[in-house]
Structure 1
C-alpha cells in the first residue's frame, strides 16, 4: 500500500492496513499491520508486538520479506529498514554518525503510527543492522522521549563482528555484485581496506575516543532487555569468536542472553538452510520475552539505566 503518509492512523484504520512503504526524510521503510483477528488469536487481546527488522548491508525489502512473514503470521506489526551502503561502509568507517539521525527517525515512526505503547522487539542482521541498533540503544540511554518505550527483546543474526578487515572486504565484495566494473571494484576495495585498517585497527586506540565502533559501544553500555544471538562457525564475514565474546561480555554484565550456533550456514543464511528451526527459535524467544515482560496490570519495561 503506497502513497503519501498521513499524520496518524486511528485504531480502526490500522487494523485494515496490510502494508505501507514510503520514504520520509531519507528513511525508506516498510511497515505492515496484521489482520486484527490474527493478532487477537495470537496475543489474546493484548497489544501485539512491533518487530523492527534492521537489514544487512545491501539487503532489499524482498530479502527481508521472508523474515517479516515469520512475525506477521503471528499477528505482529513489522517495520523493515536497511541502511544505505554508503552509510555503512563509508560514513561509519570515517566516523560520521549519520546512522544516529536515522535511528532517531526510525523510533519516531512508532509515534507516527501510534504504536509507541506497544511492546517493541528488534531483529538485527549482520554488522549493517547492528551499527544502526547501536545508535538506537544509545538513544534509549540519552533521549527522554524514547527511554519510556517498552523494549521486550532482540534477535541478533550473524553479528556483531569487530576489527575483521577481511570479513568486511568479503561483505563489500558481495554487496557490490558482479555488475560493477572490475577495475572500479578493485579500486573501491583497496580504498576501503586501507581506510578500515588505518582508522579501525592501527589508529583505533586513539580514534575510539572520537568515534567508538559498534562492537565496543554496545559491549560497554549494553541494553538490559533479553537478547538471542544466532551465528555460525562457517560464517566467513563475521567471526564466530566475536559473537561468542560479545555474548560472554553481556552475560558478565547481567544481561539475559541466549545464543545458538547453526554451525554450517554461510553469512546471514541460517533461515535459508534451516527455515523451520530458525522460525521456531525466533518465535519461541519472542513469546518468552513477552511473558517475561508482563506485569500485574501493565508490561514491565526493560529500561536502560541512565
Structure 2
C-alpha cells in the first residue's frame, strides 16, 4: 500500500469524457512529477491538459529536503518515494491502464530516475505498461550555477538573508565536491540522475520540452541527453521554445505546449494499440 502521508492528488475523469476520447479502450493514467518547490495549484494547470482529454491524473512533488539535501549527499530517499508512488496505481486499481509520465525539472527527474529503475528491476512493477514520458525543462547535469538558481527561487523571499546565504553556500560546496570533484569515485556508490537514465534509458518514447533561454537547465544538457537516448534506440521527440524561462513554457506558449503534449500522448496510445494488434495477429 502507498504511504497515506504522501501529499499527492488523483483525479478521475467522468466516464463520458473518457469514452469520447478513448472509445472503449482504457484511459491513460498520467503521473505528473513536479519541480522542486512546486505548488499543487501550479501542477494542476498541467494536469488539466490531460483531465480534459479523459485521463486519470496523479500529481506529486517530492519534498525539498529530499531533492536538495538527500540526493546531494547520496542518500537514496527518493527510491522509497518512487516505490510508494507506483503503489498508488495498485491502490486505485489502475495498474492495468496505460501509464504516462510528465516530469518537470531536475526535481521531478530525480524521482523519475528511481521510477524507471523500479520498473525494470522489481517484478511487482514490471507488468506496468508505460507508454511514454514528457520531460519539461529536464534533465540537467553537473550545473552548479543552475542548481543554485533553482534553490534560490525555491527558498523564496521570506527566508532571512543570513539563512539564505548559509544554505546556498553549504549546497554549493556539497554539490561541487560530491558531484563534480569526487564524482569519478562517488558515481560507483551513487550515480547522479542524469547519468543513470542516460546510460540505461527506458524503451518508451520521450518528448523533451526545453528552451535556450532556460537559466536553470542548460539546453546543451538536454540535447546531449536526447542524443544518448536515440543512440540506444529510445524514440525521442523535442521542442525548443527558444525564449521561455525555466518550467514556464506552458505560461509563455499555452496553445503550442498543450498541443505538443496532447499529440504526443495520442501517438503513444496509437503505438500501444498497434503493438497489441500485431501481437494478436502473431498469436493467431
TM range (shorter): over 0.9
Whether 1:287 aligns to 2:274 is no
| TM-score where L is the length of structure 2 | 0.96
Offset, 1:181? 0.5
Kindly provide the CA deviation profile for residues 114-150 of structure 1, in whole angstroms up to 9, marking residues without a partner as x.
0000000000000000000000000011000111101
Render the CA deviation track for 1:154-201: whole Å, top value 9, x for unaligned. Answer: 000000000000000000000000000011100110000000000000
Tell me if 1:179 matches 2:169.
Answer: no
Q: 1:41 and 1:176 mapped to 2: Cα distance? A: 43
- Provide the residue aligned with 2:232 in structure 1: 253
Corresponding position: 1:160 with 2:139? yes
- Alignment map for 1:90-109 (pairs within 5 Å): 90-109=69-88
Per the alignment, do residues 208 and 44 of structure 1 end up closer, same or farther by CA in structure 2, a change over 3 Å counting?
Answer: same
In structure 1, distance between residues paired with 2:275 and 2:180: 49
Change (3 A) 1:299 1:191: farther
* CA deviation after TM superposition for structure 1 residue 82, in Å: 0.1
Q: How much does 1:26 deviate?
A: 3.8
State the partner residue of 2:121: 142
Partner of 1:193: 172
How far off is 1:298 after superposition? 6.8
**TM alignment of 1:124-143, pairs within 5 A:** 124-143=103-122
* Partner Cα distance (2:121, 2:127) in 1: 11
Contact 1:293 1:299 in 2 (8 A): no
Q: Which residue number corresponds to residue 114 of structure 1?
A: 93
Match of 2:7 among 21, 25, 28: 28
Distance 1:219 1:235 in 2: 21
1:58 and 1:128 map into 2 onto residues whose CA distance is: 9
Question: Alpha-carbon deviations, 1:21-65, whole Å to 9, x = none?
Answer: xx9354210000001100000000110000000000000110101
Following superposition of structure 1 onto structure 2, how do residues 10-49 of structure 1 map, counting pairs within 5 Å? 24-49=3-28
Q: Which runs of 4+ in 1 moved over 4 A?
A: 295-300
Post-superposition Cα deviations, 1:41-98, rounded to whole Å, max 9, x if no partner, equal 0000110000000000000110101101000000000000000000000000000000
3-state SS of the aligned residue for 2:46?
Answer: helix
Q: Any idea what the Cα deviations from partners look like across 1:231-258, whole Å, max 9, x if unmatched? A: 0000000000000000000000011001
- Superposition pairs for residues 255-274 of structure 1, below 5 Å? 255-274=234-253
Q: Distance in 1 between matches of 2:5 and 2:15?
A: 30
Mapping of 1:175-254 within 5 angstroms?
Answer: 175-254=154-233
RMSD: 1.4
Give the structure with the higher percent helix.
2
The gaps in structure 1 that reach 5 residues or longer are 1-6, 8-22, 301-306
Aligned residues: 279
User: Quick one: distance in 2 between partners of 1:295 and 1:92?
Assistant: 39
Question: Distance in 2 between the 1:198 and 1:85 partners?
Answer: 20
CA distance in 2, matches of 1:297, 1:96: 40
- Partner Cα separation in structure 2 for residue 145 and residue 238 of structure 1: 34
Aligned equivalents of 1:215, 1:240: Cα separation in 2: 14
